[in-house]
Amino acid sequence: MPGSAKGYAILDNPSLNISTAFTRQQREQLGLRGLLPHKVCGMQAQEQRALENIRRKGYDIERYIFLVALMERNEKLFYHTVLNNIEELMPLIYTPTVGQACKEFAHIFRKPQGFYITPDDRGSIREILDNWPEDEVRVIVVTDGERILGLGDLGANGMGIPIGKLSLYCACAGIHPRQCLPVMLDVGTNNQELLDDPLYLGYPHKRIQGDDYLSLVEEFVLAVQDKFPKALLQFEDFLTPNAYRLLNLYRDRVLSFNDDIQGTAAVALAGVYASTRLTGIDFKDLRVMFLGAGSAATGIGDLLVVALQAAGLDEAVARKRLWFNDIGGLVVASRDNLMSHNLPYAHDHPPSSFIEAIKTIKPHVLIGATGAPGTFTQEVIEAMSAINQRPTIFALSNPTSRAECTAEQAYTWSNGRVIFSSGSPFDAVELEGRRFKPGQGNNAYIFPGIGLGAIACEASVITDEMFLSAAHALAGKVSEQDLHSGSLYPPLSDIRSVSKTIAVEVAKQAFAQNVAQIQRPDDLEGYIQSLMYQPVYAA
């Protein structure tokens, strides 16, 4: 047991506390006699007790609160329990439950976690970073709360997202909890309901914008580089214009990426790769259509272009394989209301409605990233089924309530022919004697492995080729059994193995592109394995 902490100081420290698992000898040495019940319980019994408590709760938000409290008092038990039961617990610690937790964040607030920066901290960000108790931070997830999942502007309540993402970094890729820092850039909120809520904990003003906003972000980034020079910076849930602006500002300057743009792209690309094993269509021959033209959808498109070029297509030809629809219909060259990130995909074609576009362009793959539930209607699924023997449908919007369609709808309306994936989990579907278990295209398959690989080799930047390598690695982990059951992704129970495989491929790519800043280890996989936090009690 490190340090000189004793008694309640140990029990109050989540990284030291193992509660009833302290042995008789440890209790004597550490001043714990009388502070714990008599029986010494191992981790297995503690896990069983935790699961019983979780399962007796009546609502998912209560289960979320319990799990956060467990993480705050015994982090080894928390991560051990999550890893052993990840299919049950990941929907509680992240999507979809984290959406509700963010909406209610100020009302369920118990104990501070993470770091908050407001406009009042301008000029002092580097100084106040010294208040954070850890010096070896390697992964930072930061949001400004303006576009939380598909829920919109939740202001400082969005802190639930960095906390949840970093818990997945620890559970899925073994990043040590002490190396993680959740950050809220609390620049205000335009959500009047929050501003009127007496329990709201955020900066009680309208959002700062323009140069005031960008200069605060710049000060934060520079402060992070000075305080934590080896840290990876992950931007999360920024509104599309700011998401692209910040990605373009920092992608070549700082070890950073935007998970909504690049992480979503890699997990979707992996699913598309896997789908071709079922359809028999060569990847480079695919036509892909998107409903939604924001940061997530365009990010997928941009990585698909890179992948299609790697498959042998010219860039212009690759872009013409991808078609986007937004609230104004098909994105075409004749429209004059397009954002800059949409322009490369504005092709020469008559203006069309979404359904008309499906019927004339005949896409093999349909990807939804709208945040608008129910937009993949029966007519849409039937139109895709009419032109494809095995239509591929990705309903990626989170949380579950925002999905473009449900798994049951997709299978039913396609008579069981659809290849389906979603951003949030859906239960298995029974249809005409067949059982379909759709895989969840969750970014947790990608970002933990990207982060682990990048920090393992001390990469200076994260390149598109790293995300391409990650997508190939993830697709390669999909078994024939997974595909037969209807899943384009491996089981979540394999997530640590998946993350390690991705990390190795990402690091290999970093060395190949000369952006790694350490000498390549002889045994790269063994080296990365040695860095992974294991949530077990010391013997």
Q: Point out the residues that are catalytic.
A: 94, 165
Going 451 to 177 to 141 to 86, the CA torsion angle's sign is positive
Phi and psi at 325, nearest 5°, equal: -125, 140
Do 232 and 140 contact (CB within 8 A), yes or no? Answer: yes
Q: How far is CA 98 from the centre of its chain?
A: 12
Residue whose pair of structure tokens reads 């013409």 in the numeric block:
320
The number of helix segments (H) and strand segments (E) in the chain equals 24, 14
Q: Which tokens sit at 370?
A: 């709208």
Going 265 to 266 to 268 to 274, the CA torsion angle's sign is positive
**Of 151, 65, 150, 52, nearest to 101 (Cα)?**
65
**In the Cβ-directed half-sphere of 432, how many Cα atoms lie within 13 Å?**
7
**Cα–Cα distance measured from residue 233 to residue 368, given in angstroms and rounded to the nearest whole number:** 27
DSSP state of 361: H
CA dihedral of residues 462, 468, 470, 474 (deg, nearest 10): 160
**Cα–Cα distance measured from residue 192 to residue 172, given in angstroms and rounded to the nearest whole number:** 37
Centre a 10 Å sphere on the Cβ of residue 529 and count the other Cβ atoms it contains.
Answer: 16
Do 90 and 165 contact (CB within 8 A), yes or no? Answer: no
Helix (H) or strand (E) holding 168: helix 160-173
Centre a 10 Å sphere on the Cβ of residue 514 and count the other Cβ atoms it contains.
Answer: 8
